[in-house]
Structure 1
Amino acid sequence: MTIVGIVGSGPTDILPKFVEYQSKVDYWIGADRGAYTLLENNINIDFAIGDFDSITMDEKEKIRRAASNFKEFTAEKDETDIELALLQAYELKPTKIMLFAVTGGRLDHTLANIQLLMSIKNRKIDAVIIDQQNQVELTLPGKYVVEKDDEYPNISFLPITDRVKGLTLTGFYYPLTDETIFFGSTRCISNKLLLNNGTFSYSEGILLFIKSRDLT
């Protein structure tokens, strides 16, 4: 099992504690300023990728010296820096990709990065977006086991297709059996597990599976 961590240029004040993920990630990729974020957190940079238009020349030189691989692109390009980082990640044949610092800034960037989860899933690779308050995964029809996570206790399901059919939730405070929910519905927001695990399943559509927590 190979896990790749990608760090983007999003706000660093909503990053989770990297120490919780360092032992899980096999390769770290910094996309643009994300490479400097890795440097600041004393994490080895396996790949630094991007146009590096959001950092100073001095910061870029520090990244160049620290990174095992440094790949600079022109600012005028078809792919975003995160997309370039994903292309590099695919070459590493990962089973899972963790994306950090890709939320919390510009809304267009956040939404685009969430949509990128679909392109990752199409390659049969698991992926999760992680920040201090949320973990976001895209799922396709099937049955899934959800483990209780005290750090992210709230669980929500958001349809991103016109409808999701056959949604069944077991082991949740608010259970469902073979329900159809529609795009725009808030019915499956803020659920919780009753015990240490539960399951959800559905037969048609695409769901965002979100674990979150309230900051105190």
Structure 2
Amino acid sequence: MIIHIVAGGPTNFLPHLQAYDGEDVYWVGVDRGVLALLHAGIMPKRAFGDFDSINEQELQQLKMKLPHIDIWPAEKDQTDTDIALEWALEQQATKIRLFGATGGRLDHLFGNVQLLFKGKDGQIELIDRQNVVTLYRNGEHIVEKRDEYTYISFIPLTPIRALTLRGFKYPLDACDVPLGSTLCVSNELIHHFGTFSFAEGILMMIRSKDEK
């Protein structure tokens, strides 16, 4: 199962959601993200949130339209997006794509990046108009070239031991990368696919492109 979650971040950071639609996709709205989905012509099958960012009239309309809506109190120990993500993981989704989770407040952004830790390697993707963010633990991983994204960056979330990059414009061979390093920012694939491997640590991969 593929689950797409649309959170309530600024809509100008959203990619074209219809491009990610398909018969095998299960759409979930989070708080104001439900309205973004409806505006895109997509009916979410489930919704989560305290819905404190919409008015009472909008909430009543959502209750009538949506097949499943889980309303949570505003005061709780998790964000609405976290609750929706944990539900998606319980469904054993093979891929979870998270939209509407960037832009605006930085505490929301960094909190949503931390949610990537909850999935397996590459299972959760955080996507906006210019970026796709995934997280990987030690081992060897294959990355395919995607023409719409020019750059691939690797950001250490812990100290990284013995990082090796193959098939990249700037290769590495068993290089230790400390926290705070910008060594692996703005790399590019030079073949249809490449590999990256490391012996220890947690690494964030960011595919990105410049705004046109």
Structure 1 and Structure 2 fold alike (TM over 0.5): yes
The answer for the alignment partner of 2:125 in structure 1 is: 128
TM-score norm. by structure 2 comes to: 0.96
Amino acid at match of 2:178: F
Deviations 1:159-205 (A, max 9, x none): 011x1011000110000000000110000000001121111111100
Kindly indicate whether residue 146 of structure 2 is the aligned counterpart of residue 146 of structure 1.
Answer: no
The answer for the alignment partner of 2:19 in structure 1 is: 20
SS of the residue corresponding to residue 82 of structure 2 reads helix
TM-score norm. by structure 1 comes to: 0.94
Counterpart Cα distance in 2 of 1:207 and 1:62: 42
Kindly indicate whether residue 185 of structure 2 is the aligned counterpart of residue 189 of structure 1.
Answer: yes
Q: Which runs of 5+ in 1 are unaligned?
A: none
Counterpart Cα distance in 1 of 2:141 and 2:122: 15
Structure 1 residues 90 and 125: CA distance shift in structure 2, 3 A: farther
Counterpart Cα distance in 1 of 2:42 and 2:62: 12
Q: Which runs of 5+ in 2 are unaligned?
A: none
Counterpart Cα distance in 1 of 2:181 and 2:148: 26
Structure 1 residue 24: Cα displacement: 7.0
**Sequence identity, in percent?**
46
SS of the residue corresponding to residue 141 of structure 1 reads strand
The structure 2 residue matched to 1:176, chosen from 172, 179, 182, is: 172
Amino acid at match of 1:12: T
| Aligned-residue RMSD, C-alpha | 1.4
Give aligned pairs, total: 212
Amino acid at match of 1:183: L
SS of the residue corresponding to residue 59 of structure 1 reads helix
The structure 2 residue matched to 1:155, chosen from 152, 157, 161, is: 152
Deviations 1:136-176 (A, max 9, x none): 00100111111111111200000011x10110001100000
Structure 1 residue 63: Cα displacement: 1.9
